[in-house]
Structure 1
């Protein structure tokens, strides 16, 4: 992850995001997995997020994405889940009726983890020793 900046901000913000298919249905295999991967990558490009890594498993997706500070991780997940579900159901309409009974592709639950180059302990020590270094 590299240091990024815009006109008023310098940042290194990365997120590990995991989301599952509804009912943990194992439908993200073969061409469906490829379509999912491409839909997520295209959404990230369209919104200006950098998709660092992605792995599509049969019933869930792991992604490592970097984004500017004004973009909430929940917004990233909501957007990629929505766009990928539409693309997958459009490309493979039989999935919707067979396994998801008219509901969405993704479970509403999502895991979010922050990714950085320094540890929690380092940040704590840095803040605690501010007066000593001033």
Structure 2
């Protein structure tokens, strides 16, 4: 069952409903999230989300960035979640796909910054639609 913004989650110390639209971008907007890298990244992000008590409601991986709509626990801050997602995914992808390091200068997969915005009940469907209907930029592939 997918959680929606009107669904409440219960823990021992809190009742919450926290959804975020998160975007991470590759360093220099390099088109490295393709083929088996893209597939492995999706599996990695879903696995890491479980470790942060977070559910990925929607995800679209473009060749140079990732959009996620997540339902998160207040147990972890967004900054710690993003640090974990970006750090572990970069280490694992570089280990399994050393060829992508050739596309990046300085050995970093992700831009140091990220985008995070809270999702209200009125905007949730708009964000879901936006993520589901991402189109590649001119000259870019998924």
Q: What TM bracket, shorter-length normalisation?
A: 0.7 to 0.9
Deviation at 1:116, TM superposition (A): 2.6
Q: Of Structure 1 and Structure 2, which has the larger fraction of its residues in strand?
A: 1
Deviation at 1:51, TM superposition (A): 1.3
Query: Where do 4+ consecutive residues of structure 1 move more than 6 Å?
Result: none
Looking at structure 2, the residues matched to 8 and 47 of structure 1 have their Cα atoms a distance apart, in angstroms, of 17
Q: Please give the secondary structure, in 1, of the residue aligned with 2:112.
A: strand
Cross-structure match for 1:105: 109
Change beyond 3 A, Cα 1:47–1:69:
closer
In structure 2, the gaps of 5 or more residues are 124-142
Q: 2:58 aligns with which of 41, 53, 56?
A: 53
CA contact (8 A) 2:52 2:76 kept: no
In structure 1, the gaps of 5 or more residues are 120-134
Looking at structure 1, the residues matched to 45 and 95 of structure 2 have their Cα atoms a distance apart, in angstroms, of 15
Superposed CA offset, 1:47-91 (max 9, x none): 221111111000000011111223211211111111111111111
Cross-structure match for 1:132: none
Cross-structure match for 1:86: 91
Matched, 1:32 2:46: no
Between the two proteins, the alignment pairs up a number of residues equal to 118
Change beyond 3 A, Cα 1:5–1:118:
farther
